[in-house]
Amino acid sequence: MKNTRRDFLKAAGLCSLGLFSKPVKDAFAQDESAYSRRPEALVGKRWGMAVDVKKCAEKVEKDQCKDCIAACHVAHNVPTNIEGPKEEIKWIWRTTYEHAFPGLDAKYTHLEDLPFVVLCNHCDNPPCVRVCPTKATFVAKDGIVMMDFHRCIGCRYCMAACPFGSRSFNFKDPRPFIPEIRTEFPTRMRGVVEKCNFCAERLAEGLLPACVDACKAKALIFGDLADPDSEVRQVIRENYTIRRKVYLGTQPSVFYVI
Ligand code: SF4
């Protein structure tokens, strides 16, 4: 990513004066068209995920499994070993029931000791998108809440609006903290917000998200929530599921089988 914040503001000013022949969107956006689809691309109307908490817990208990986290962070050049919880960059991580579902009904206290994999919920009614002043975050046609890193001006309104803590901010240049940079996915720069993208770039190639592929326990089920015949819909239909903070009305697309 070569554009700096200064470049962005300068170019935005030039656009407002009509000095750019290209609109800002064309000049800066890395929208869904950035991932040109192969014929074998996976297509959906509203991608979603089910997390089978018990399957995940059994694997974690067996070998402290973090396969999904490792696969995601490698695939997306997520920096590691940045010191301090505030500066940590996370796309998918594990947390406790208490943190994932604060204030949930006392009848679920039997879940207290289980690990919960959490990520961006790709909400159907995402507050993060509404507050973004530059449309750097937007909902793609398949329901994925995307980030256009080039458009992000680092105001962090989206982080304040997300009730799930699903977004991270690059307080420093992340590149020195990436063990091995993959050229297939863009690195970010200081001052940019990032988060899970449901592996939109992999879907465009016909591949499932990296976390789903990596999960040997088959605890992550990904698919089209709009398709009643999809596996994810079947799992949700046949099991008892909960979602995070449904009372806020964001309509998360990630379900937890408990
Ligand atoms: Fe936005 Fe947070 Fe919902 Fe993700 S989980 S779509 S970042 S509000």
pLDDT of 124-147, one tens digit each? 999 999 999 999 999 999 999 999
Kindly give the number of the ligand 1 atom that is closest to the alpha carbon of 122. Answer: 6
Comparing CA positions, the residue from 256, 220, 216 lying closest to residue 62 is: 216
* Residues sharing a CB contact under 8 Å with residue 76, sequence separation 6 or more, in sequence order: 91, 185, 197, 210
Q: Which of 137, 145, 198, 254 to mutate to test the pocket of ligand 1 (most atoms within 8 A of CB)?
A: 145
In this predicted structure, the answer to whether residue 119 has a pLDDT above a threshold of 50 is yes
* Residues sharing a CB contact under 8 Å with residue 226, sequence separation 6 or more, in sequence order: 44, 45, 46, 143
List the single range of 7-21, 48-62, 131-145 with lowest mean pLDDT: 7-21
Distance CA 149, CA 76 (A): 13
How confident is the model at residue 167, as a pLDDT?
Answer: 98
Kindly give the number of the ligand 1 atom that is closest to the alpha carbon of 196. Answer: 4
In this predicted structure, the answer to whether residue 3 has a pLDDT above a threshold of 50 is no
Mean pLDDT of 20-43: 56
List the single range of 5-19, 54-68, 105-119, 148-162 with lowest mean pLDDT: 5-19
**Where does ligand 1 bind, in terms of residues with CB under 6 Å?**
120-123, 126-128, 145, 162, 164, 166-167, 195, 250
127 CA from centroid of ligand 1 (Å): 7
Query: SS3 of 6, please?
Result: helix
Separation in Å, CA 227 to CA 32, 110, 166, 187, 223: 21, 32, 26, 33, 8
pTM score: 0.86
Q: 36: which DSSP letter?
A: P
